[in-house]
Amino acid sequence: MKSIPVAIVGGGPAGIAAAIQLRRMGVEAVLFEEDVLGGLMAQADWIENYPGFPSGIKGDDLARRFREWFARQAVDTRNEQVLTLDYDPDRRTFILATAHGRLSADRVIIASGTKPKALPLFDSLPEELRARVFYDRRKVPEGEKRRVAIIGAGDIALDYALGLSIVPGHEVVILCRGEKCRALPVLQERIDRIRTIQIRFQVELDMAVPGPDGKIRLAGTHPTGRFGLDVDDVLVAVGREARKDFYSPRLMRLENDLIGSGRLFLAGDVKNGLRRQVGIAVGDGLSAAMAAAGVRDVEGDQ
């Protein structure tokens, strides 16, 4: 089984920045990413707070620039899902398992980001309708007129709505449980200017069943009585949680000790809660890479 100095799990902004920094420092590393490099950044409709782009930039355009930058670095990258990450305390090494085999690493940077929180409301739908409930904006069908319901009213929900609104023929309905959105004012201002986006407030969904003409019927309560809406697709955006589902039970128990001993490093959204910003993730990746390379946070060290 091959052993390497550093393994990086995740190819979003934090993972990309970490891999490039390690390359600059002459430290061998392998980056694992099961999907396209860029992470959640690629789903963002518009990013207006990343330095260097005074007018803002579309998320997929920024992700493409990251990939172009990364491609020039000759980093060992595996387009593989890390199925299990374990730690062997006797050998003092991490073991990464993918469908293609196993690899050991002295240190690991976790830049795996987040995964969406699921809604059990849709579990009882027939399979063909469950296939039209999405947690990733990029998977919502295009090419025909569709009504899409977005469940949630935070930053991600409104950003998804803005991204879908540019698809010809799409009508977007945002369903919000509260009396107002929790999203940034700049997103709400943009939503208010788009006629193909509606927001329904104080909607408490309690049912999802087959509707007429193959649609999904969403039903629930509203201050005025029962609420009902027939849609072609549903996009769920009710929050995200740190993605650590590949951790072995032993690693889950040892995580804090390994972080404290400087063998395991978390970078980006996986550790930042609601502070999911590209700039923060990049800084985290750089910091984790320097720490993994042995650069100590002591004045005078080089």
> Are 205 and 162 spatial neighbours (Cβ–Cβ below 8 Å)?
no
**Selected residue with higher pLDDT from 165 and 285:** 285
The amino acid occupying position 282 is V
Are 151 and 226 within one domain?
yes
Count of C-beta atoms within a 10 Å radius of residue 15: 34
pLDDT at 298 over 70: no
> Are 146 and 232 spatial neighbours (Cβ–Cβ below 8 Å)?
yes
pLDDT at 180 over 90: no
Instruction: Provide the pairing of β-strand 146-151 with 93-98.
Output: unpaired
pLDDT at 168 over 90: no
Are 286 and 209 within one domain?
no
Q: Which of 97, 84, 58, 110 is nearest to 291 (CA)?
A: 110
pLDDT tens-place string over residues 242-251: 999 999 999 9
The parent domain of residue 214 ranges over 118-236
Q: How many structural domains comprise the chain?
A: 2
In a domain, residue 43? The reply is yes
CATH number for position 179: 3.50.50.60
CA distances from 14 to 93, 134, 265, 299 (A): 23, 25, 11, 25
3-state SS, residue 254: helix
In a domain, residue 174? The reply is yes
Count of C-beta atoms within a 10 Å radius of residue 32: 25
The one-character DSSP state at 274 is T
Q: How confident is the model at residue 297 (pLDDT cuts 50, 70, 90)?
A: low
Are 229 and 253 within one domain?
no
Q: How confident is the model at residue 134 (pLDDT cuts 50, 70, 90)?
A: very high
Q: What rounded mean pLDDT belongs to the chain?
A: 92
> Which of 201, 220, 236 marks a domain boundary?
236
Q: How confident is the model at residue 57 (pLDDT cuts 50, 70, 90)?
A: very high
> Which of 236, 254, 274 marks a domain boundary?
236
Q: Report the C-alpha gap between 86 and 94 in whole angstroms.
A: 6
